[in-house]
């Protein structure tokens, strides 16, 4: 059975987006990429600065409210429909709720063949990338480095601490059925 959806989970600045771009480059068929950052960017500004939406505190902590969950559920269903329409999908997400986040995706992707990918990166390395990026609240990468993996089950895990994105993408591609 052929994989229809690849869900890539890891903390901020762990290298997920680079891996997704490399997957798109090396896979024979076209795969569409959807990221939680894209979801947040698509939300109205009023949901990006309120406790009912998503809030990022100056120390990098992220708080999720009920309005965000409503929007997120609709986005997940939409992503699943793209895969059901016959196009491969790669999801770049940050499971702030660990296993509960994975369960929300499992529910949305019901009936689809999914490859679950964990992207790990040592907290100090991710924090250095965070500083270099300049577009993240300092502390976010370190805070998320391990918590996003708690209780999550994967089909394949990669570690970007010392491995380039393309090598990680090749390891993931090798697991596609």
Q: Which residues are catalytic?
A: 37
- 8 has which bridge partners? 92, 117
DSSP per residue, 47-74 = GSSSTTSEEE-TTS-EEE-HHHHHHHHH
Residues 116/154, Cβ–Cβ less than 8 Å:
yes
Q: Residue 83: enclosing H or E segment and its boundaries?
A: helix 66-84
End-to-end CA distance of the chain: 6
Q: Residue 36: enclosing H or E segment and its boundaries?
A: helix 36-42
Residues 164/36, Cβ–Cβ less than 8 Å:
no
- How many separate helices (H) and strands (E) can be counted in the chain? 7, 7
């Amino acid at each position: 059975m052929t994989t229809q959806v690849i869900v890539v989970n890891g903390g901020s600045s762990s290298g997920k987006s680079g891996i997704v771009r490399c997957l798109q480059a090396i896979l024979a068929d076209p795969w569409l990429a959807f990221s939680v950052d894209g979801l947040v960017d698509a939300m109205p500004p009023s949901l990006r600065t309120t406790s009912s939406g998503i809030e990022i505190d100056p120390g990098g902590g992220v708080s999720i409210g009920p309005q965000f969950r409503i929007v997120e559920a609709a986005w997940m269903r939409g992503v699943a429909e793209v895969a059901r329409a016959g196009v491969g999908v790669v999801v770049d997400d940050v499971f702030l709720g660990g296993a509960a986040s994975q369960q929300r995706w499992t529910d949305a992707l019901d009936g689809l063949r999914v490859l679950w990918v964990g992207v790990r990166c040592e907290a100090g390395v991710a924090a250095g990338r965070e500083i270099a990026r300049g577009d993240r609240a300092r502390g976010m990468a370190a805070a998320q480095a391990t918590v996003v993996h708690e209780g999550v089950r994967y089909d394949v895990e990669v570690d970007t601490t010392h491995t380039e994105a393309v090598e990680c993408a090749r390891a993931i591609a090798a697991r596609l059925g």
